[in-house]
Chain A
């Protein structure tokens, strides 16, 4: 099993749709979880951390399921500007500052 796995997509959705991505991880000791957004030929940018209790930032909701070892990202009311690749990242060890392992990303395309 790969350390971090994502469905590559692409997910093609109309504006206003709700879309969800999942990401599974293999290291049960991982403590830090993140979602990043990467636009074409740009560097990844931090979208949000994923806390045990789940967290919400506007139209974006992230959740963690430790028992099943996956994290999810829900995007409501999709906008054209949400089109990007979404990367999940999980740290390698127990300490929050240890290196992150990234999934290969899920591509989202929002159309009008």
Chain B
């Protein structure tokens, strides 16, 4: 597609439930990243996929968080047993060389997760 697509755009879930967030990167981009941004906070790195290499999971805050990327394209971020502190906007980005812009990311519009 023309941009990074994320779904759903909004998700309200009850504490303790599992949620899945989806990201469809720009076609041809080999690198995909997940971040989250809490209200008034900066972007917190979660996980990074690059081609067929093992993902960099160093940013995942707990073992309730996991992500996979199938076929080098679509990625799913799963949060198990959600907690209220998981409420945030979850942003996905993909990377491709864009001339003078170098390896800058293109972000999707995010999934706003609210845990009640």
On A, residues with C-beta under 8 Å from B are 32, 34, 42-46, 48-49, 55, 87, 96-105
Contacts and interface: CB of A to CB of B under 8 A. Distances in A.
A49 B41 contact: no
A14 B57 CA distance: 44
A44 B37 CA distance: 11
A96 B103 contact: yes
A44 B109 contact: no
A32 B103 contact: yes
Contact of B43 (A49, A87, A96, A98): A87
B109 A49 contact: no
The B interface, classified by DSSP as helix, strand, loop or mixed, is: strand
Interface stretch (B20-28, B64-72, B94-102): B94-102
23 contacts: A32-B102, A34-B102, A34-B104, A43-B91, A43-B107, A43-B109, A43-B110, A44-B107, A46-B104, A46-B105, A46-B106, A49-B100, A49-B104, A55-B100, A87-B43, A97-B31, A98-B48, A98-B56, A99-B45, A99-B59, A100-B33, A101-B45, A104-B41
Contacts of A102: 35, 42-43, 45
Given A99-B56, A99-B59, A46 B45 contact: no
Contacts of B103: 32, 96-97
B42 A96 contact: no
Given A49-B100, A97-B31, A43 B45 contact: no
Nearest to A105: B42
Q: For chain B, give the interface size range.
A: 20 to 34
Given A97-B95, A105-B42, 7 more contacts: A43-B91, A49-B102, A96-B103, A97-B31, A99-B45, A99-B48, A102-B45
A45 B107 contact: yes
A96 B107 CA distance: 17
Interface string B55-99: 010010000000000000000000000000000000100010000
A87 B35 CA distance: 14
B7 interface: no
B50 interface: yes
B44 to A, nearest CB: 8
